[in-house]
Structures are given as structure tokens and as C-alpha cells.
Chain A
Amino acid sequence: MSAAFAIDLTDAETFPSRRTEAWKYSDLKRWLRAAPEPSGTAAVGPPGPFYDLGGEAIVFANGRAVGVTDFIASGEQTLRLRYISDAVGTGHTAGARVSARAGAKLLLLETHEGAGSAYVAHNTLELDVAAGAEVTRVVLVEEPEDAISIAEAHVKVEAGGVYRQTIVTTGAKLQRIETRITHYAQGAQVQADGLYLLNGSRHTDLTSVVRHVEHDGATSQLIKGVARDTARGVFQGKIVVERGADGTDARMGHHALIASERAEIDAKPELIIYADDVQCAHGNTVGTLDESALFYMQQRGIPADEARALLTQAFLIEVIDRIEHEGAREVAREWLTARL
């Protein structure tokens, strides 16, 4: 059942370039011509942003597992999944496998915690959500501005399962966060949200593919982003409704703000529908901060920078508000607020 991850950091031949359509906006080959030297060991350091929410933990430090790499949830559980990078100019790969048994309720709190510089990280996750299980995955990603990272998650949602994810990232030199969800539907629900807040010359690429293979499944996706300075935000969202997946209800929205003339947003929403009797919708907008709101706030005494931060937060917070779990939602809210 284990899905293959095509990229192998030890083999430069596997690095996609913009000639591959799915990597058009994130040319890995351009930034990474040769396989990086393997990273050495790293200390685990501080306990990570989700520590206070407790639960079990899977921890990788520069790709090395500190303890287990696999986790099977039953009943109601919390798992912190931490990908820690602390390296200079080297590369490492980490892979975790998580599954939620039938009826289990799992809160999966994932962090990508980067220190050092110019490292290359490849972090993967295989996640199975069994029939009737419920998984909420919240991902916070913070990496140095010169790091390269690829995070790939392959998620399988069985009939009647519930899977919700929210990715919150501040980008890196080249960052790709890819999620592939196979949706067995029959009442199963998927939420695939995310937000990005990019400064400087950072780049992030939120790519997702949700494949509805059975009938009567629902997918809802809300991605919001802000690109400042010369940053570049990429959203590629694909929803495929296979033949026979009738009764699918899929909604996708991507809304971004460009906060500088030199920033860039590339968005590619795709709905591919082979079934009849489906409801699918997508919306995509790219705009700027509302100048009249900005003036109004300044007129009342709020300095320009503070007004911009408040408007930016107000724009992005909708994604955080959709996080079902209150504790995780508050951690994500504080994490974002501290980075505005």
C-alpha cells in the first residue's frame, strides 16, 4: 500500500525541473544541481510549538529518527510529528508512517523546525485514515530563508473517514509542500486548507491533488496567502473526480494578496471531472491590501505598519478559524500572529 515518493536526495536524476508540468513554478533542479552531502547528527533542542498539547511524538533530527517512525492511533490520541533540521549546506530525508484505526480520532500536530542554513530537507508522510476514523492534521513550517525543502504527504481516506489538514508556512528559498489525497468517499469528508505568509525572496509551493474514487464524498479547500517583497507564492490545487464518483461535492478557493510590486503569485486550480451529477466549484483571487481601509486605520491613529499587519492577519485568519481543534487553533493563531 505504501506509495512511492519519486524524489531521492541521493540521486540528482530524480530532481524535477520546470520541464515537468507539476514543477513548472518550483524548479528544484535549478537550485539543486547535484545531490547534497548527507547531513550529520543534530540535537533535538526546544520542545516545539505544540508541546503544551501533549500526546505521543515522532521526532526526526536531520532525517534520523529519535525513537519510532510509525504510529497507529486507536481511540482518541494526539501525535506530535516533528521534522527537525539543523544543518549547513547538507541534505537529509525523513519518512513517517501514521494510521488511524477505524473509529479513532487523531490530532496530528506536525512541525517542520529548521535551523542552520542552506540545507536540503525531504520529509515524507504516509497517512491512512480508516473507515470512520477522524484525523485533524495541523502543520507549522518554519525554515531558514536559504533552505530548500520538499514535504510530501500521501493520504488515504477510507469510506466514511474524516480528514482535515491545515498547513501554515512562511516559506524558504525553495519550498514545496505537496499533499496527495485518495478519497474513498462514501460519506468521507476532506478539508485541505493552508496559508502562506512570505517575506524577502522566499518561495513556497502548496500543491495538492485530491482524487475522488468513490461516490458521495466531499472536499473543501481554502488556501490564503500573502507575498511581500520579492517573494513568490505558488498554489496548485487539483481535484479529480473519477468515473463513478457521483454525488461528489468539491469546493476549492485560493485567495492571495500581493503586498509589493515585485512579489509574485502563481495559481493553478484544476477540476478534472469524469463523473456525472457532481457539484464542483473553484474560486481564485489575487489582490492587494485595501488602500482605503489602510488610510481609515491610520486616520484613527494606527501606524501604517501596524495597520498592514492587522489587515494581513484579518485576511489570513479565516484559514486558522477553520481549524476544528481549539487548542491547535490557538497555537496556530499565536504562531501566525508572532510572524506578521
Chain B
Amino acid sequence: MLSISNLHVSVGEKPILKGLTLDVPAGEVHAIMGPNGAGKSTLGYALSGRPGYEATEGAVEWAGEDLLALDPAERAAKGVFLSFQYPIEIPGVPALTFVRTALNAQKRARGEEEVAAPAFLKLVREASKALKMDFDMLKRPLNVGFSGGEKKRMEILQMALLEPSLLILDETDSGLDIDALRIVSEGVNALRRPDRAMLVITHYQRLLDYIKPDRVHVLAGGRIVASGGPELAHQLEAEGYDKYLLEPA
């Protein structure tokens, strides 16, 4: 279970999250919706430990661990995975090398045996097939020259291989056409498991037609201002975020 209590996060001197409290039990998918500038991406970065996103108050627990005490790589080894809204291009590092390095680093950190190259390639072939990805693309530098859809598939492929237990999807639908959105969503849905929690951050309800949330939360002014079932997303789609913006943050 992910348990966030009274989380305050500043970027530079500027407070962005102002007392965010949220519980996501394992096995559930929770959506975070909110207007631009509400702090949605900040939440993803704060949970994954991005430098410059400083937690000034509050606590974050994941599977009994104090996440805020860990560096980003340690959090990843504990199962935290942030799918980036704009995945980073890394020239000079082939995608295959990157994923294998990451997988083995996580395994080392957990005291598990590393995966040898032949076994790894077998895993990748299976996972890339399921996502309709061209295997040869993975020999290219990570995300360099990939289309928006290819980059998102690459993120899902990494999720499938790294097997995180806490998935944070930051605006995964941005830059995707409807076909790519379907493939990516199917990839995410295939990862739903009773021991896995997912936080789906999105501005639009559209993504939630494909990835059905158990709960929907509205983030505005740095706090969760409303929570409900999937119907809340439809209500937001119809009414917009205006009524939450009127409330003093």
C-alpha cells in the first residue's frame, strides 16, 4: 500500500504540493486528475525522488519503506517506476543495454542474481512482441529518433521487464494517437496484479476509458480536493475543473 500523508513539496522556493494525503492499496488503480499547474507531475517526481523536488513536510510510505529517505535508484529497486510524460532520449546508449543495466542494477540492489544476456534477450523478445515493437529498434540509442508512440511503448516495455510494484504513469496519453493509445493501455492493463499499485496521472478522462481506475482523485492547488469512483472522471469531463479552481488553495 502506498500511503502519502500531509506531503508538502517545494520546487526551488515555490511550494507546489501543500498537504497532499492519499492512500493507494496494492492491487488498485487510482487516477489523479487535475487542471494544469495543480502539481500532478510534481507528485510523480516527488514520489520518485527527482533532485530539486524537495519534500519539506509529511511522509510517504511504500510497502513499509520510508520512500523519502531513499535515493531515486534505491526507490526504483523497491519497485517504484515513473513513466515519464516525455521519455528522455539518451544518445550513445542502446535501448537493450540501458534496460539490461537497469534490471541488473535493481537485482543487485535487492541481492538477487543478475540476468545473463541470453535469458534477457528472450525476455525482451517476448515483451516487445506483445507490444508490437520492432526488436531491431531496441538496438538503437534509447528513444533517439523514436516517435511519441514508440517512446511510450518503450516505457511500457521497461515496466514489463523491470516488474515494478508501484507504477506512476505521468500523462501517458499525451502525444499518442488512438491506435497507440490502445496498444499502450493494453500493455498497462496486462500489468495489473493484486500485488501492484498504479497511480495514473492525467489531465483528460480519455485515458481512463482504456485504463479503468478503481478510484479517482482531483488534485488542485497542491492538495486532493475530491475523491470518488470512476464516475467522478466523467463528471470532470462534463463540467471541467472550474469549481475546484474557485476554491482558495
Contacts and interface: CB of A to CB of B under 8 A. Distances in A.
Which residue, of B73, B105, B141, has the highest number of chain A Cβ atoms within 10 A? B73
Interface string A290-321: 11110111111111101100110111011000
Nearest to B168: A299
A293 B141 CA distance: 13
A314 B101 contact: no
B165 interface: no
A292 B88 contact: yes
Contacts of B101: 302, 306, 310
Contact of A298 (B73, B92, B98): B73
Contacts of A292: 88
Contact of A299 (B76, B92, B99, B103): B76
A302 B50 contact: no
B63 to A, nearest CB: 16
A218 B103 CA distance: 45
Interface residues of A, number: 23
Given A300-B158, A301-B106, A301-B162, A295 B93 contact: no
Given A306-B101, A310-B101, A314-B93, A298 B71 contact: yes
A293 B162 contact: no
Given A291-B51, A299-B48, A304 B90 contact: no
B109 interface: yes
B73 A301 contact: yes
A257 to B, nearest CB: 12
Contacts of A315: 92
A301 B92 contact: no
A298 B76 contact: yes
Contacts, number: 74
A314 B109 CA distance: 24
Interface in B89-105: 89-93, 98-99, 101-103, 105
B92 A295 contact: no
B76 A300 contact: yes
B62 to A, nearest CB: 14
B169 interface: no
Nearest to B106: A301
A302 B88 contact: no
B82 interface: yes
B77 interface: yes
Among A291, A299, A307, find the residue whose CB has the most chain B CB atoms closer than 10 A: A299
Given A302-B102, A306-B105, A295 B90 contact: no
A39 to B, nearest CB: 41
A295 to B, nearest CB: 5
Contacts of A299: 48-50, 72-73, 75-76, 80-82
A322 to B, nearest CB: 13
B92 A313 contact: yes
Interface in A241-257: none
- List 8 A-B pairs, minimum CB-CB distance, nearest first: A314-B92, A301-B76, A301-B106, A298-B72, A300-B102, A296-B88, A303-B73, A298-B73
Given A297-B102, A298-B72, 9 more contacts: A298-B71, A300-B76, A300-B98, A301-B76, A303-B105, A304-B73, A314-B93, A315-B92, A317-B92
Interface of B: 48-51, 71-73, 75-77, 80-82, 84, 87-93, 98-99, 101-103, 105-106, 109, 141, 158, 162
Interface of A: 290-293, 295-304, 306-307, 310-311, 313-315, 317-318
20 contacts: A293-B88, A293-B89, A295-B50, A295-B51, A296-B88, A297-B90, A298-B73, A300-B76, A300-B98, A300-B102, A301-B76, A301-B77, A301-B102, A301-B109, A302-B73, A302-B102, A303-B105, A314-B91, A314-B93, A318-B92
